[in-house]
Amino acid sequence: MSRLRAIESKIVTIEEAQRSMAMWHMKGNKVVFTNGCFDVLHKGHVTYLAKSAELGNHLVVGINSDDSVRRLEKGSNRPINPEDARAFVLASLGVVDMVVIFNEDTPEVVIHALEPDVLVKGADYDPNETDAAAKTYIVGSDFVRKNGGEVCVVEIVDGFSTTGMVDKMKQG
């Protein structure tokens, strides 16, 4: 398989992810799931993904579709990169085993479908928050815990955010 095809093969549907995860689980592997927009990949993203991958044997990343990003109201010019490009760049990272694009506003449907062993978000979230309406609540955390999984947070790298980068570019 060519290297290009190897990258492309990491971008999968939920059904394909379920099949791969079933095989990984049969082998006793721990699967980690995280999600985000990952609009303009930067050091903060890569550090976060590498630390997330260390929490298990395989890392699955859910990314918001273009429509989903627009509904998050991150700005009129977002996403900067279309979903297929964002998925491709993420899939090219060695720490990422699979990328799944979701169209919903949250990854709840994907989390329920995949049943990861570990759910990860950045440390600006609270793994112990139980109020789903709270800004720091981790979507899907109750489901993951109910199924015997873990919910973890990873420190974020100060000074790196897509919004900050976009603002800096606007200033010229």
Find the CATH number of the domain harbouring 56. Answer: 3.40.50.620
Residues linked to residue 102 through DSSP beta bridges, in sequence order: 64
Structure tokens at 52: 């997330």
pLDDT at 158: 72
What is the full per-residue pLDDT of the chain (172 aa) written as tens digits? 899 999 999 999 999 999 999 999 999 999 999 999 999 898 999 999 999 999 999 999 999 999 999 998 777 788 999 999 999 999 999 999 999 999 999 999 999 999 999 999 999 999 999 999 999 999 999 999 999 999 999 998 776 666 565 666 667 6
Residue 163: predicted pLDDT: 59
2, two tokens: 């060519």
Task: Work out how many domains the chain is built from and give that number.
Answer: 1
Range of the structural domain that residue 42 is part of: 3-171
The CA–CA distances, whole Å, from 128 to 5, 53, 88, 124, 125 equal 40, 21, 33, 12, 9
What values do phi and psi take at 135, rounded to 5? -65, -30
What is residue 46's predicted lDDT score, i.e. its pLDDT?
A: 96
Separation between Cα atoms, residue 27 and residue 31, nearest integer Å: 11
Output the CA angle 150-151-154, nearest 5 degrees.
125
What's residue 26's pLDDT?
97
- What pLDDT is stored for residue 159 in this prediction? 63
Query: Using an 8 Å Cβ cutoff, are 42 and 163 in contact?
Result: no
Q: Which residue, among 30, 5, 6, 10, has the nearest Cα to 100 in the 3D structure?
A: 10
